[in-house]
Amino acid sequence: MSETVKEQYSTSDKLSIRITLHSKYSTNKQGFGNWIFSNYRIREGMSVLELGCGTGEMWCGKNDIIERCSKLILSDFSEGMLETAQGNLRDCPGIEYRCIDIQDIPYPDKTFDVVIANMMLYHVPDLMKGLREVQRVLKDDGTFYCATYGENGMMEKVDLMFDDLPISGARNYSFTLQNGAEKLENFFSKVQTLRYEDALEVTDVEDMVDYIYSLPSWSDIQDLPRDVMRSTLERNMHDGVLRLPKDYGMFIAEGPGEKIFLVEPAEEYAEDVWAFRSEILENDADDENQFAGCLSMDKCTSPEEWIDICRRRKSEDTCQETGVAVPSTTYLAVRGYDNKVVGVIDLRHHINHPILGMWGGHCGYSVRPSERGHGYAREMLRLNIINARRLGIDRMLVTCDETNPASESVILANGGVYEKSIDVDGSRMKRFWIDTNSGK
């Protein structure tokens, strides 16, 4: 976690200020914490891990749920928070408290039936790493619950109140109700979004001033004199009430996801890149196009050498040193939930070359033999079309051998339009064009 976040949560004082404001002025009297708990499905004998438990107050009065758990671990990266949680729940036996960073959860694979991470994922420096850890320790039939805020709530409303003052109003939107599902879908096959209907009706602006001072994300406003802050809020009161929208909710995620993403080769994938290479050599020994999209991998003596070649191929100035005529970007197709390399695909920045313009095309790809049949090739090409569009390529030339119906179906599924077939060294190649702006 960043030093700012560590300082923010070193004790429970500032968090308590925020909890008190919501408790005192929320129009929905069910309470956000009670609503979250109402959506949990914790059955008898389940093992539960909460990450970022904070003060633990949400578990107060939930003895019936606590007693159902065969194991309940409340964790936080802040020892100060854990001390407060232990104090708040001192009358609840059977709870284990541990200092844990979500990016490095110290438990074996498939340990928990339920993992919870409420109002904290936007603080995680490497969110993908954290979610990967959650998925790893969750059982295959387990459930991940995570609450967060949205992008149309009280903070945005307050920012507008100070719009005429020299503040930036920068918000942390790394994991919100608007973008969280997309990130979770990298790791889970089913993601449900639930929204909590609520608002704030504040009658004492001093409480709102204290709230603003408790949040590091409002550092610019905090630099204002307290009386300026107070008077600005008072000007926005109507009939003695400062009304603020709230945009809160939660996600319920289940099932291992098959979603992939494209990333440029890096050292963290070196070992798996070499395992990918071994599978190709073993399974596709008779295929002359066995390393399509990852040319020269078979000639390299180490994954680090190949990763370096990929980097040099990106530049017009250095690509010819690696044996290619035009610059290209190579991508690893990585499965989100286990960080496994399932394929490789490249993207040539242009095809102003006799061979590439005739039958080489803008890209080639290979799918790991053990991962074929899952639709990864289709998704790899779809994601590569997006990359091509970002690079300014309006039309992509993609080719395949006439005897390769699987590859042809991948191209057609991504909007490929057949142009013609040509003879290439005794084989017939089909040429397809893909409009990168079609949004298919």
Which helix (H) or strand (E) is 354 found in, with range? Answer: helix 354-355
User: Domain for residue 286, yes or no?
Assistant: yes
The CATH number linked to 278 is 3.40.630.30
pLDDT value of position 170 = 63
User: Domain for residue 423, yes or no?
Assistant: yes
Let me know: does 165 contact 225? Beta carbons within 8 Å: no
Note the pLDDT tens digit of each residue in 303-313: 999 999 999 99
Tell whether 311 and 400 lie within a shared domain.
yes
User: Domain for residue 292, yes or no?
Assistant: yes
User: Domain for residue 34, yes or no?
Assistant: yes
The span from the CA of 341 to the CA of 324, in Å, is 24
pLDDT value of position 216 = 72
| pLDDT for 364 beyond 80 | yes
Tell whether 102 and 187 lie within a shared domain.
yes
Tell whether 213 and 283 lie within a shared domain.
no
* Last-in-domain residue among 204, 223, 255: 255
* Last-in-domain residue among 223, 255, 287: 255
Q: How far is CA 404 from the centre of its chain?
A: 35
Separation of first and last alpha carbons in the chain: 39
User: Domain for residue 338, yes or no?
Assistant: yes
What's the chain's average pLDDT? 91
- Report the relative pairing of strands 328-335 and 260-263 from DSSP bridges: antiparallel
Structural domain boundaries enclosing 225: 3-255
Note the pLDDT tens digit of each residue in 279-336: 999 988 777 777 888 878 989 999 999 999 999 999 999 998 988 889 999 999 999 8
Position 12 confidence tier, pLDDT thresholds 50, 70, 90: low
pLDDT value of position 308 = 95
User: Domain for residue 33, yes or no?
Assistant: yes
Which one-letter amino acid corresponds to residue 187?
F
Tell whether 54 and 93 lie within a shared domain.
yes
- Counting every residue, how long is the chain? 440
Tell whether 292 and 234 lie within a shared domain.
no
Number of alpha helices (DSSP H) and beta strands (DSSP E) in the chain: 16, 16
pLDDT value of position 219 = 67
pLDDT value of position 405 = 93
Tell whether 172 and 288 lie within a shared domain.
no
pLDDT value of position 222 = 74
- Beta-carbon contacts of 365 under 8 Å, excluding residues fewer than 6 positions away, are 292, 293, 343, 344, 345, 346, 377, 380, 381, 384
Phi, psi of 175 (to 5 degrees): -150, 100
User: Domain for residue 440, yes or no?
Assistant: no
Note the pLDDT tens digit of each residue in 232-279: 999 999 999 999 999 999 999 998 777 889 999 999 999 999 999 999
Q: Which of 60, 58, 172 is nearest to 116 (CA)?
A: 58
Tell whether 394 and 329 lie within a shared domain.
yes
| pLDDT for 346 beyond 60 | yes
Residue with token string 């284990």: 96
Which helix (H) or strand (E) is 155 found in, with range? Answer: helix 154-161
Tell whether 247 and 319 lie within a shared domain.
no
Tell whether 49 and 147 lie within a shared domain.
yes
Tell whether 145 and 91 lie within a shared domain.
yes
User: Domain for residue 21, yes or no?
Assistant: yes
The CATH number linked to 43 is 3.40.50.150
Q: Looking at the 3D structure of the chain, how many domains does it have?
A: 2
Q: What is the DSSP string of 233-266?
A: HHHT-BTTBEEEE--EEEEEEEEE---EEEE---
Position 347 confidence tier, pLDDT thresholds 50, 70, 90: very high
Position 178 confidence tier, pLDDT thresholds 50, 70, 90: very high
Tell whether 322 and 407 lie within a shared domain.
yes
Tell whether 380 and 306 lie within a shared domain.
yes
pLDDT value of position 255 = 86
* Last-in-domain residue among 239, 255, 271: 255
| pLDDT for 6 beyond 70 | no
| pLDDT for 203 beyond 90 | yes
The span from the CA of 316 to the CA of 219, in Å, is 44
Let me know: does 200 contact 154? Beta carbons within 8 Å: yes
